């Protein structure tokens, strides 16, 4: 691999595979759930397609992989990266971080959206409909608290990537985490406040891609479409 092959740095957002609660829409923060058999299959399928030498997520081009401390994320990393993950660990390029733990749902843990809204209304909290991006979670995290921990992670990622905007050094980053958290990360990457109305979807076992415009650390962007590596 030559220097120019590295390209503008990217951040890959890898959501963990399906669990029983993600399947039925229950908010899962600190509760430790295993992947379903279907969830494992989702991750193995996406990993086989995009992770590996010459593929979209090329282990030789990674500066670091950050993984949530929850077991469902740890298992997703293990399944998606396989032997490549073990090599990255040996190279000190994998770390577990609480900054990628799912949003702390507090009293809303294990509930569905309509149950949360009904409960809040019964307690006289609001009648307009709960919005996690604006209201946060009772007994859990506020949008500001999630913002602060994600901004700290973004600052660290920028420290890897700022000097390599033109591919001077391969420094892609992978985040293995959760649905709400990775969407929150995307908002902060783009410098939007949490309450900014940016509708996003990220399926279990799916991968999103963030990068920069014009090779500029001050112009973060998301890739709404990306080209796969060319094999010559």
Q: Is 91 annotated as a binding residue?
A: no
Q: Is 72 annotated as a binding residue?
A: yes
Q: Is 115 annotated as a binding residue?
A: no
Distance CA 27, CA 21 (A): 7
Q: Which two tokens stand for residue 78?
A: 């293990």
Please give the backbone phi and psi of residue 16, each rounded to the nearest 5 degrees, phi first: -65, 160
Q: Is 96 annotated as a binding residue?
A: no
* CB 162 within 8 Å of CB 9: no
Q: Which residues lie below 8 Å from residue 225, measured CB to CB, with a gap of 6+?
A: none
Cα end-to-end span (Å), the chain = 13
Q: Is 105 annotated as a binding residue?
A: yes
Q: Is 25 annotated as a binding residue?
A: no
Distances (CA, A) of 109 to 82, 90, 136, 139, 140: 31, 35, 12, 10, 9
Q: Is 195 annotated as a binding residue?
A: no
Q: Which residues are catalytic?
A: 16, 102
Q: Which residues are annotated as a binding site for substrate?
A: 28-29, 72, 102-105
Q: Which residues are annotated as a binding site?
A: 28-29, 72, 102-105
């Amino acid at each position: 691999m030559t220097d120019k092959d590295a390209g503008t740095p990217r951040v890959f957002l890898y959501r963990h595979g399906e669990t029983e609660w993600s399947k039925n829409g229950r908010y899962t923060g600190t509760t430790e759930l295993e992947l379903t058999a279907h969830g494992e299959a989702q991750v193995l399928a996406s990993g086989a397609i995009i992770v590996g030498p010459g593929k979209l997520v090329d282990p030789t081009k990674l500066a670091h992989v950050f993984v949530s401390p929850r077991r469902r994320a740890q298992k997703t990393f293990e399944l998606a990266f396989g032997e490549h993950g073990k090599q990255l660990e040996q190279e000190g390029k994998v770390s577990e971080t609480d900054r990628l733990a799912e949003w702390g749902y507090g009293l809303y843990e294990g509930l569905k959206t309509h149950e949360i809204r009904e409960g809040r209304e019964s307690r006289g909290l609001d009648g307009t409909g709960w919005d996690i991006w604006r209201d946060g979670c009772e007994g859990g995290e506020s949008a500001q608290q999630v913002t602060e921990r994600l901004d700290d992670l973004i600052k660290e990622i920028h420290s890897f990537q700022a000097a390599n905007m033109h591919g001077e050094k391969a420094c892609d980053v992978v985040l293995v985490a959760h649905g709400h958290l990775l969407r929150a990360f995307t908002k902060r990457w783009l410098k939007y406040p949490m309450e900014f109305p940016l509708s996003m979807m990220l399926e279990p076992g799916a991968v999103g891609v963030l990068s920069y415009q014009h090779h500029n650390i001050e112009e973060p962007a998301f890739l709404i479409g990306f080209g796969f590596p060319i094999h010559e």
